[in-house]
């Protein structure tokens, strides 16, 4: 028993890297999908003093001459930590960094990759310019220290909403897909058709409750329908383990039930509190970050309410 405990703590200490501030960053779990695509699975808890803002998955796509990295982490230090993990895979430089959306944990590490070409959706760029300082403050507060070297860098290469653009970078065929705003108004998904891989940012999550705070539930469910129709074997979420098509369908169905539950409550004139009590939320309750459920209900309720106003307006116009 003692021996097992000792072994456990030895493994734990090997998995940690001490940062400049004395805190520790977990070493990512590296999953090799094929000879040129690797996923760095980060911790899944929200940003806190312990993880120092490292709580995101990054994907390493090794091209002919350089690396295309998807999602750079939540601080300059996390960015460098991810850069170190990339160097364990290849000595090629990171030439491109893709930001899947404007939430700080996914892109505030951009500063560690200056010189690379940054890519995002058009809307993500706009949101980074508008909310970058705010996200930096959120991160500083969550991890308990100032981040003087972290700068919100917006991407210079951008793609418009509703587009799918196929390109080849370093010999790798890549489709940049900007669906209608789902997890945020500016999601960018990265599809590697030859590798049968989709990197979805937080449009997909595994083991954590999806965060709807900046999202659009009905669009999101539609996007999940489009995702599951792709010829893909590895679905890389923004947080949590790599997913299968079956996992995507389960997430889609859970989110659809969530939407229908709220709509039903709204139609019965229930308050948000009553809806929360009457819905079966057990599937979400047991996951990480279950504290977002209340906010999700609030956001979905507002969406249902706005839709019902729209429907009423349309009916009103028709009756005239
Ligand atoms: Zn997010």
Of 117, 98, 96, 95, the closest CA to residue 107 belongs to 98
Nearest-angstrom CA–CA distance, 180 and 157 = 19
Chain CA centroid to CA 304, Å: 24
Is 185 in contact with 127 (CB distance < 8 Å)? yes
DSSP state of 147: -
User: What percent of the chain is modeled with pLDDT above 70?
Assistant: 90
The two beta strands, 157-159 and 163-169, are unpaired
Residue 310: predicted pLDDT? 74
Residue 316: predicted pLDDT? 64
Nearest-angstrom CA–CA distance, 128 and 104 = 9
Residue 30: predicted pLDDT? 98
Of 235 and 307, which is predicted with more confidence?
Answer: 235
Is 147 in contact with 73 (CB distance < 8 Å)? no
Q: How confident is the model at residue 177 (pLDDT cuts 50, 70, 90)?
A: very high
Q: How confident is the model at residue 318 (pLDDT cuts 50, 70, 90)?
A: low
Structure confidence by residue, pLDDT tens digits, 203-246: 999 999 999 999 999 999 999 999 999 999 999 999 999 999 99
Of 111, 208, 181, the closest CA to residue 150 belongs to 111
| Ligand 1 center from residue 211 Cα (angstroms) | 7
| Ligand 1 center from residue 212 Cα (angstroms) | 9
Torsion over CA: 56, 61, 62, 65 (sign): negative
Nearest-angstrom CA–CA distance, 202 and 99 = 11
Q: Which residues surround ligand 1, an ion (CB under 5 A)?
A: 103, 202
| Ligand 1 center from residue 132 Cα (angstroms) | 14
Q: Give SS3 for 165.
A: strand
Residue 13: predicted pLDDT? 43
Q: Which two tokens stand for residue 182?
A: 């789902």
Structure confidence by residue, pLDDT tens digits, 152-164: 999 999 999 999 9
Q: How confident is the model at residue 309 (pLDDT cuts 50, 70, 90)?
A: confident
Q: Above 90 in pLDDT, residue 16?
A: no
Q: Write the CA distances from 278 to 266, 281, 286, 306, integer angstroms.
A: 12, 9, 17, 22
pTM for this model (two decimals): 0.90
| Ligand 1 center from residue 279 Cα (angstroms) | 25
Helix (H) or strand (E) segment spanning residue 119: strand 117-121
Q: Above 80 in pLDDT, residue 312?
A: no
How much is the mean pLDDT over the chain? Answer: 92
Structure confidence by residue, pLDDT tens digits, 19-74: 556 678 999 999 999 999 999 999 998 899 989 999 999 999 999 999 999 999 99
């Amino acid at each position: 028993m003692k021996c097992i405990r000792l072994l456990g703590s030895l493994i734990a200490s090997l998995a940690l890297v001490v940062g400049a501030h004395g805190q520790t960053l977990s070493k990512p779990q590296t999953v090799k999908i094929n000879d040129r695509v690797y996923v760095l699975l980060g911790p899944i808890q929200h940003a806190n003093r312990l993880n120092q803002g490292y709580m995101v998955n990054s994907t390493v796509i090794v091209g002919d001459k350089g690396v295309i990295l998807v999602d750079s982490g939540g601080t300059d230090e996390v960015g460098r930590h991810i850069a170190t993990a990339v160097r364990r895979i290849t000595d090629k430089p990171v030439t491109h960094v893709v930001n899947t959306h404007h939430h700080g944990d996914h892109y505030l590490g951009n500063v560690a990759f200056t010189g690379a070409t940054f890519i995002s959706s058009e809307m993500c760029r706009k949101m980074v310019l508008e909310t970058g300082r705010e996200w930096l403050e959120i991160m500083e507060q969550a991890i308990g220290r100032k981040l003087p070297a972290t700068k919100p860098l917006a991407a210079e290469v951008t793609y418009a909403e509703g587009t799918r653009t196929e390109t080849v970078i370093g010999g790798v065929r890549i489709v940049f897909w900007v669906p209608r705003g789902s997890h945020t108004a500016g999601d960018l998904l990265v599809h590697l058709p030859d590798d049968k891989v989709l990197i979805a940012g937080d449009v997909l999550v595994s083991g954590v409750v999806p965060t709807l705070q900046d999202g659009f539930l009905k669009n999101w469910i539609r996007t999940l329908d489009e995702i599951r129709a792709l010829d893909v074997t590895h679905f890389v979420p923004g947080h949590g383990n790599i997913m299968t098509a079956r996992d995507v369908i389960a997430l889609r169905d859970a989110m659809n039930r969530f939407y229908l539950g709220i709509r039903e409550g709204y139609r019965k004139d229930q308050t948000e509190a009553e809806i929360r009590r009457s819905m079966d939320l057990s599937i979400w309750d047991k996951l990480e970050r279950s504290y977002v459920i209340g906010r999700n209900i609030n956001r979905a309720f507002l969406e249902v309410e706005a839709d019902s106003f729209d429907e009423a307006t349309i009916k009103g116009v028709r009756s005239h």
